[in-house]
A and B are shown apart, each in its own frame.
Chain A
């Protein structure tokens, strides 16, 4: 069986190239024809074909709110743990973004300098930003830039205009918010240490 047997769209390769890297395809993305790719996957006929095709190679297309991504079938626990560790730092980033005066939500357009300025003017935000571990980020602005780069690399943001350094928040950002919302903090009541707490990801 090859691509032709599945009657796959001709952009299948592009779709795979993006999603197999662990990236998302968002409906409001403009780079690399992303919104077109989204529309192609979103077409029910295409979706079924693509799903069947990718399942063969043990990938599953997951549908979010206006975005798609791959999950692995029968993923090893160690990999999941690793992913969670990677995700951990996003908790602080989302926390920072959600604490801004001008909240950063899906579709928002912003410049790193704006965030850095706000953090500079607000001690609470500054502390939150400083808490985020980023190497070689000497100034606040560089740190925000690094965060933006990281998020762009992970396809949560899109550098819309390089000249003005303007970023756009993609639909995949919902994934991060959903993840954060899925975290429940519970109090250990039966254990020896009554103060201990932890997170459960459901």
Chain B
């Protein structure tokens, strides 16, 4: 029975192709067999005892798993027997779905497993057999972990705690790892990397490495986001955003305008189509109305003209009559008609007086009748002669008078004829001119009334009214929009303020939390430092001394010494047996005294606890930051969306106000235009009217002049004719008078002769009377009176005819003259009234006609415009792409009258479309350029395809706008900043975790170094010394990782305030962030360049060896494979392994547990010399390590082992393992 615990035996039952093998392992063991006979498999099975990890056995992935390869049958068993000073026990491994273990408190006995036919039984039977024998058999141990806990003495279950190989401490996992590593590394070349791997692998598990792929992914994600943001915040990009925004507005506006215009075009077209017929009808109706009006007016004109003609005739008649009467009256007046009438009134009286005188004369002459008779006859005779002569002369005079009178009459007639001719001619000419003048005058009057009409007419009234209405509506809407905009602006400001307040609050909370956490961390770090300082000095301090030299010191000195003294290094403790267990010679009962001192593990625990606390704090901070960010994001989402909506509304309102403004201006201009046009139209009409008026005035003037000339001309002619006639008449009169006067003179002379003769006869008579006595005087007086009366009567008789005529005329004409004048005036008035009526009617007619003409013209113009528009649309618009673009709108528009004509709308649409295309091209260019600045997979999703539709481009711009409005860049920056914090933190944590183990490595290296020193090579003198030292790693990635960790330590956790921050106040933070970004970028590049998958513990340091073999000293080198011959190399390698194993076992096992041995499995040692082998086995033995080696064949080396087993393949394919009979020449 051994005094130590050791894996005593391994038994394979139906394992792989070994049916049964029982191999003792309590000393150095050697397996001899050619390749592929199962040597390595057996070694692996031994290794499994220590490692209990089916995956860490160096089985290639292409090969069957450990379970599959070893446990092929349900009765496959691996049995490990452990020797102990008390009683051997064994553990069996079998497959029950997975590998499970059972501990049996008994030495191995084949009968337990094999039946009488030497066949392995099933587990149930085996267990029941064992139980039947009253042997303790544990329950199934399901996990490798638990199995290891039991084997390495950390199991708490009392039933199982005795089944241990050695008592390991908390680091016991290093033991199986070390054994495994020695086994797995034994074929590798020997260099420091390998040793590093060994140490590192022994100290770490699979997870304690930094997976660079993961780091690289995090860095890439961060870098991509960072680059995206960097690109976004560039000046050029910002400018592009502004351009896109502006262009989008323009394009949007243009599109809206185009659509509006297309709608108007559609409305106009529909309207034109629907209104065409009705307008045609209306125009026709107006024409008819005009005809009716003209006809009515002409009829009225005719009637009035007829009446006027009649009245004019009447006037002419009365005028003539009056004129003739006046003329006659004048003639009568010229002939002293009044005097003649007066004299004629005395005629009767004179006739009576004459008759009286005659009767008186007859009475006086009755006595001298004879004489009287004689003389009377003589006188009468004479008188008769005289009368005959006078009559003759008178006849002659009368003849002359009549002749000349006749000539005069002829002349007068001639004159009158000529005068009448001239008058007729004049009247004809005048009537022509007058007619012309009248026509012109009418025209003039018409124009005058037309002017009045023009002045009162409001041209384009409907258009102006429409525009004014539209303007009023527009202004009302603008007013409403303006107030709405003001309200929304206020809302935006309020929300912004709210948002800012919340952000400030969040920021303050975060800053406070950071400060608080940092303070706590600093405090904890200080505490850690304190603990670390204790741990660092404990080896050299009083504490270390007590640990090494005083058993259970915690229960004695530990209770009375304070901590400070325990960790002092300057008190040089020394053990004096005499005073042991006393305090300066005084014995104390310390049973009830509390232990003050703490174990190293407790210090370690304290440190770890604080570290964990720091991690908790940092995690808490990260969580807080994440929550803070989330809250920020929520706020951004909430406020941003609201703001975005409001801003969008504001933009829309501003845009519509701008549009309304423009529209108002446009409408105002249009209104002004229409007014101007109306004014122009009035002016134009007036001007043309005035021109025509002027023309007519001129024509009238010309006509008047012509009339005057004509009159003058005729007057001259009249004068000439009159002068001629007057001259001729005067001449005739003169000749008449001359001839008559000559006859009168002759008559006078002759009458004188007759009167002289009469006087002689009278005197003879008187003398005879006197002689006869008759009163001659009285008789003469009577006679004289008779003559006077006769003369008076004769005078009266001369005017009798004219008076009679006068009286007749007076009675018939002159007395009626006032009536005639009055009647004429009445007619003149009637005529004037009719003229006025005619003028008025004509004016009215003209107005009405003009109105109708205007209306008809409007309809005609409208119709022409419609037709032209429709034609233009069909010929020049319908086939264009612009029509196709807006076909829907155009075709679906409601028929409506618009202020624009179709042609203008078509032209404008075409023109605008080309402008729109230009603007859209620029918009697309900007979008492309902007999106092109980002990677195709940018996290903002700023991506646009080259064949994107207009809608997609517009959506892009809208999204960009929302992005800006919702301030998503800030969110992205915050996220990225958090990400940089998290990435840095994650790197720092990993680096810290990993580099935390560096101390362990340092410790192990020190121990190894010490172990090398202790090694005794004196016997062989082959190896003088092996030295080992640790150096800083030259791994670039690790260095950068380390720098990041240091950076993180220096600057804390949060960077988000600094990232992309241009604020001067926090400029320093930006600089720090900049450095962090740069570091991360360098790390990314380094990872890419280095092409390493992970950073493991071994990458954290460099190992260097210095080995002296014989006379050869390698100097400090990484490589140790060229020390000497291959055998030497293997020896050195094996020595190093054993040293490592020793150190690890020592480190990982409980101090109190030293009675155990473990195996060092090194497969191929065939090239080592016997001398060296012996040396090696001895070296191992001194360190309680048994060697298990493989040899390809028997070469004498096997004689140095306690057990040698040979491997042979049988015909069945099974391998048989059997002990070889050799003589042990063990050292």
Contacts and interface: CB of A to CB of B under 8 A. Distances in A.
Interface of A: 27-28, 30, 35, 66, 102-110, 114, 160-161, 166, 168-170
A170 B943 CA distance: 15
Interface in B601-651: none
A27 B933 contact: yes
Given A35-B231, A110-B946, A105 B236 contact: no
Given A35-B231, A102-B947, A114-B947, A107 B936 contact: no
Closest 8 CB pairs of A and B: A107-B932, A107-B928, A110-B946, A107-B929, A106-B929, A105-B925, A108-B928, A28-B933
B924 interface: yes
Contacts of A166: 936
A107 B947 contact: no
B236 A109 contact: no
Given A27-B236, A30-B935, A168-B936, A105 B947 contact: no
Nearest to A169: B932
Given A27-B236, A66-B236, A109 B946 contact: yes
Nearest to A33: B1085
A106 B946 contact: no
B1095 interface: no
Given A109-B943, A114-B946, 13 more contacts: A28-B933, A30-B935, A35-B227, A102-B948, A106-B928, A107-B928, A107-B930, A108-B928, A108-B946, A109-B945, A109-B946, A110-B947, A168-B936
A110 B925 CA distance: 14
B931 interface: yes
A144 to B, nearest CB: 13
Contacts, number: 55
B1110 interface: no
Given A102-B946, A102-B947, A161-B936, A107 B931 contact: yes
Nearest to B235: A42
Contacts of A104: 946
Given A35-B231, A114-B947, A105 B935 contact: no
Contacts of A160: 935-936
Interface string B928-959: 11111101100000011111100000000000
Nearest to A166: B936
B573 interface: no
Contacts of A28: 929, 932-933
Contact residues of A: prevailing secondary structure: loop
Contacts of A106: 925, 928-929, 932
A109 B231 contact: no
Contacts of A30: 935
Nearest to B947: A102
B85 interface: no
B784 interface: no
Contacts of B944: 109
A106 B936 CA distance: 14
Contacts of B925: 103, 105-106
B924 A105 contact: yes
A161 B929 CA distance: 18
Contacts of B933: 27-28, 107
B924 A103 contact: yes
Contacts of B930: 107
B58 interface: no
Contacts of B835: none
A140 B933 CA distance: 29
19 contacts: A27-B933, A28-B933, A35-B227, A102-B947, A102-B948, A103-B924, A104-B946, A105-B924, A106-B925, A107-B927, A107-B930, A107-B931, A108-B946, A109-B931, A109-B943, A109-B944, A110-B946, A160-B935, A161-B936
B921 interface: yes
A109 B932 contact: yes
Interface string B227-244: 100010010100000000
A160 B933 CA distance: 12
Contacts of A168: 932, 936
Contacts of A169: 928, 932
Contacts of A114: 946-947
B929 A109 contact: no
A169 to B, nearest CB: 7
A110 B927 CA distance: 14
Contacts of A105: 924-925, 928-929
Given A28-B933, A109-B936, A160-B936, A103 B236 contact: no
Interface in B233-285: 234, 236
A147 to B, nearest CB: 15
Contacts of A35: 227, 231
Contacts of B227: 35
Q: Give the interface centre of B929, B932, B947 by most chain A CB atoms within 10 Å.
A: B932
A29 B925 CA distance: 17
Contacts of A103: 921, 924-925
Interface in B904-926: 921, 924-925
Interface string B657-696: 0000000000000000000000000000000000000000
B810 to A, nearest CB: 110
Contacts of B928: 105-108, 169
A35 to B, nearest CB: 7
A135 to B, nearest CB: 27
Contacts of A66: 236
Contacts of B946: 102, 104, 108-110, 114
A17 B932 CA distance: 24
Interface string B18-44: 000000000000000000000000000
Contacts of B236: 27, 66
Given A66-B236, A102-B946, A108 B936 contact: no
A107 B956 CA distance: 14
Contacts of A170: 932
Contacts of B927: 107
Nearest to A160: B936
Contacts of A27: 234, 236, 933
A102 B925 CA distance: 11
Contacts of B932: 28, 106-109, 168-170
A107 B924 CA distance: 10
A28 B934 CA distance: 7
Interface in B482-534: none
B1118 to A, nearest CB: 30
A170 B948 CA distance: 19
Contacts of B234: 27
Interface in B214-233: 227, 231
A106 B944 CA distance: 12
A105 B923 CA distance: 11
A168 B947 CA distance: 13
B920 to A, nearest CB: 11
A45 B101 CA distance: 73
Contacts of A110: 946-947
A108 to B, nearest CB: 5
A66 B236 CA distance: 9
A104 B925 CA distance: 9
A88 B479 CA distance: 60
A160 B129 CA distance: 74
A177 B935 CA distance: 23
Nearest to B928: A107
A110 B945 CA distance: 7
A161 B945 CA distance: 14
Contacts of B924: 103, 105
A189 B751 CA distance: 130
Q: Give the interface centre of A30, A104, A170 by most chain B CB atoms within 10 Å.
A: A30
B942 to A, nearest CB: 10
Interface in B1172-1227: none
B244 to A, nearest CB: 12
Nearest to B1085: A33
Nearest to A158: B932
A103 B923 CA distance: 12
Nearest to B231: A35
